[in-house]
Amino acid sequence: MTSWQPGGVLLGADYNPEQWPEATLVEDVALMQQAGFTFATVGVFSWALWEPTPGDYKFERLQSILDTLHKAGIRVDLATGTASAPPWLARLYPDAMPVTRDGLRLSHGSRQTWCPSNPDFGERSLALVKELATRFGDHSAVRMWHVGNEFGCHNLMCFCDISADDFRGWLKERYSTLDALNHAWGTTFWSQRYSDWADVIPPRTTTAIPNPGAELDWRRFCSDASLRQYLAERDLLRSITPDIPITTNFMVGHAFDGLDYHQWAPHQDVISNDHYLGSHLGQPEIELALSADIIRGLAGGNPWVLMEHSTSAVNWQTVNLAKAPGQMLRDSLSHVARGADTVAFFQWRASQSGAEKYHSALVPHAGKDSRVWREVCELGKVLGKISEVEGSRTQSRVALVHNWDSLWTTDGDSTPSEHHRYMTEVSRWYAACWRAGLTVQGVAPGNSLDGFDVIIVPGLHVVTDAEIANITNAVEAGAHAVITYFSGTVDELDHIRLGGYPGGFADLLGVHFDEFAPLLPGKTAALRSASELVQLSSNASGSIWTERGRADDGTEVLAAYADGPSQGSPAMTRRSRGNGSAWYVSTSPDDASIDSLLAALSHDSGVSPTVRGLPEGVDAVRRVGEQASYLFVLNHTDQEVAVPVIGHDLITGTESTDGSPLLVLAGGVAVLREGSTS
C-alpha cells in the first residue's frame, strides 16, 4: 500500500465547479485559501460533461480547473468520473440499465444507473479512464486517483440476464462442478438440485424463502462484480501513471452494508471513507467512532482519508438534522483521532439545483455570512495547528473481529430471530468499549491479532476453521477473548457446524449449548451472578436471545439465567486457555452487565483505558508518532469537563499539568502533545 503522506492534516471537499459559471472558480479559490482548504476531489460526476456525445471528449474546463487549483497549491484527487454514466449510455446500451430483484429494468435519470456486469459499460468507462489518465496523468495538480465513487451505493445488485451469466461464471470458478455447487447450497432439500448450469440464476423474487447458500454467494458475487470494475480502472491507471496513489471511497457506516471491504482493502493504495451521521441514532458519535475504527483496521492501522462527511445536514434522511455549533469540528477531530489525515466533505459549494440542493456544504447557500462558513474557517485553522499529528498511528489494544459474511447471513432470511441484527450486536459491544475508554480497532477474523490483548467477537456467525484457529492461537498466546451468541455456528458454506453451539468456538470456550431460545421483543431473561468475577446488578437481564446448555468441567459460569426459557443455563462463562482466557456470552445483556463483564475482562488482560477517570460522554484517543504522542480529548457533553491529563494543547497553546487538569468546553476538543516518544 503506497501511503498517502499529504504533508499535514488536509481540509478538502468534493469540488464540482461545473455547476457554476466559470468565473466562480476564481472566487472559489480565494475562499479556499481563506479557509486553509488544500484538497479537492474533482470530477466525480462529470462524465456527461467530459464526453457529451460518445467518443467526443471535451476536457477544456477540466484543464482550467486543474491549472487554477494547482496554482493555488491545492492537491487534486481526480475522479475517473465513471460512477454515473451520461444519458446516451442508456440509449446506446439499454441492457446496461440495472434490473431489480422483481425484474423491473430501471431507467437513467438518477445516478449510478449501470449494471456492474455489463460489458458495454465496462468498455465505455475504461475508454474514458484511458483518455483522462493519458491527458491529465502528468498534471502536477493530480495527486491521487479516485476510482468511480462509492461503489455499490445504488447499483450493488443487478438481476438481469447478463448478471445471471456472470454469476454462473463466478460460481463455476468457485465450485468447479455442479455437484460442489449443489452441496454448498444444500439443494437436495426443497427439490432444488441443479442438473444444468443454465438453470442457476440470481436469487430473483420467488415464492418462499430463497436458498440461503445462493443468497450468500450472490452477496459475495455482487461485491466481487463491483470490485472487478474497480480493479479494471485501477490497473489501467496504474499502467499509465504508476506513481499516483489510487483509492475509491468506502462507505463503512450505518447506511450501507453491500461490499465486503476486507476483500477490497488490499487493492487500495490509500484507504478512504465516507461517513454521515445517522439522525436516528441516540449517540451518533459512537457510530462515527466505530466506523473510523473499522476503517483504520482496513488500513492496517495506518492513517487514512476521510473522503466525505457533512458540514451540517444531509438531504437523504427522513429528517435531515443540522449540526450543532462546534459539532463539525468535533466530528472532524473524532475521525482524525482515529487515524484520518485528511478531512474532506461533500461538497465545496451548496448546489442551487439538482437532487442534493438541500445538502450542506462548505460554502452554504447563505454564502460567507453564515455559521457554517465561519466554522469551516475555524476548522481549517485547527487542522493547521495540529498538522504535526500527520503520520502518527492510533493506539489500540482491543480488536473487534467482524466480517461481512456474518452481517449478510445474520440479517438474512430464516434465522432463529430476526430481532438479532449483526451490527446492532457489534455496536453494543463497541459502545461498551467506548464507555470504558478503550480504543478499538476492527480486524478481519483471519488477520493477525498480534498486539491486541482483548479480542471482542460479537455474533461472528460465519467463520472458517482457519479463522477459528487464528482466534484460538491468539488466546493461547495470551489474549483475552469474549465471544457472543450465534458465533461459530456455520462454516463458510453457511452449513451448521454439528455437535452443538457455538459450533466452531465450543472447544475454545468449553461450553456446550444444544438449543437456541430467543425472546420475543420486549421480553427479557433475568441474569444472576454466579461468580465474584463479574458483579451484576440485581435487575440484570438479557434480551433477544438465550441458549440452553452447560459449561464443561474447567469452565467457570459467571452468570446464569434466573428465569425465562433457558433458566439455569449459563449466560456468561470464562475459561482459562493457554496464557489467555476465553469468555462466552449466550444472550444480549443489558448495558450495565456488558460493562461489568468488560471490566472483568480488561482487568484480566491488564488493558486500561486511554485516560483513567474520564468523565462520562468524553472520548480520549491517543495517536503515537515518531517524535511525540498526541492525546485527543473529545467532549460530547453539553458541560465543560476537567480531564486529568498532562500536555500541551496544540489548539489553544495552553499547558495542563498535574496540578491543573485540562478544561474542555462543552462540545469542545483538545489535542495534547504529550511529550517525546523517543
Cell digits of residue 440: 478499538
Minimal CA–CA distance to 391: which of 453, 463, 320, 341? 341
Determine, following the binding rule CB under 6 A, whether residue 18 of this chain makes contact with ligand GLA: no
Q: Does 359 bind ligand GLA (CB under 6 A)?
A: yes
**Per-residue mark of binding to ligand GLA, 291-310 (x: CB under 6 A):** -----------------x--
Contact call for residue 331 and ligand GLA (CB under 6 A) = no
Pairing of strands 272-274, 304-308: parallel
Q: Which of 50, 261, 346, 505 binds ligand GLA (CB under 6 A)?
A: 346
The DSSP annotation for 469-518 comes to: HHHHHHHHTT-EEEEETTTT-B-TTS-B-SSSBTGGGHHHHTEEEEEE--
Return the number of the residue (82 or 566) whose C-beta is nearest ligand GLA: 82
- Work out how close the CB of 275 gets to ligand GLA at its nearest, in angstroms, rounded to a whole number: 9
- 125, three cell numbers: 468507462
> Under rule CB under 6 A, how many of the chain's residues touch ligand GLA?
9
Distance CA 367, CA 344 (A): 19
Binding residue for ligand GLA (CB under 6 A) from 274, 287, 331, 556? 274
First to last CA, the chain: 26
* From candidates 165, 356, 491, 515, binder to ligand GLA by CB under 6 A: 356
**Nearest distance from C-beta of residue 83 to ligand GLA, angstroms:** 8
Among residues 51, 215, 308, 390, which one is catalytic?
308
Q: Mask: binding to ligand GLA, 143-182, rule CB under 6 A, as x and -? A: ------xx--------------------------------
Q: Ramachandran region of residue 302, left (φ > 0), alpha (ψ -120 to 50) or beta? A: beta
Q: How far is the CB of 346 from ligand GLA (least distance, A)?
A: 4
Smallest separation, CB 331 to ligand GLA (Å):
14
Closest CA to 424 of 275, 257, 298: 257
Annotated active-site residue 674? The verdict is no
How many helices and strands, by DSSP H and E, does the chain display? Answer: 17, 29
Whose CA is closest to 290, among 431, 452, 447? 431
**Sheet strand arrangement including 340-345:** 246-247, 142-146, 75-79, 39-42, 10-15, 340-345, 304-308, 272-274, 249-250
Nearer CB in complex with ligand GLA: 148/518: 148
Question: Helices marked H in 411-555 — which ranges?
Answer: 422-435, 465-476, 506-509
Q: Which is nearer to ligand GLA, 93 or 346 (CB)?
A: 346
CA-only gyration radius of the chain, Å: 26
Whole-number minimum distance, CB 315 to ligand GLA, in Å? 7
* Distance, CA of 209 to CA of 203 (rounded, Å): 10
Task: Give me the least distance between CB of 602 and ligand GLA, in Å please.
Answer: 36
Q: 270 vs 559, which CB is nearer to ligand GLA?
A: 270
When asked if residue 260 is in the footprint of ligand GLA (CB under 6 A), the reply is no
314 binds ligand GLA (CB under 6 A): yes
Which position has the grid cell 459449561?
A: 551
CB 96 to ligand GLA: min, Å: 21
Active site residue 378: no
d(CA 658, CA 275): 37
Among residues 114, 276, 373, 404, the one that binds ligand GLA under rule CB under 6 A? 276
- Of 150, 233, 390, 467, which is the active-site residue? 150
Q: Which is nearer to ligand GLA, 198 or 355 (CB)?
A: 355
- For Cα atoms 391, 394, 395, give the angle at the middle one, nearest 5 degrees: 135
Residue numbers at the binding site for ligand GLA (CB under 6 A): 149-150, 274, 276, 308, 314, 346, 356, 359
Which positions are catalytic?
Answer: 150, 308
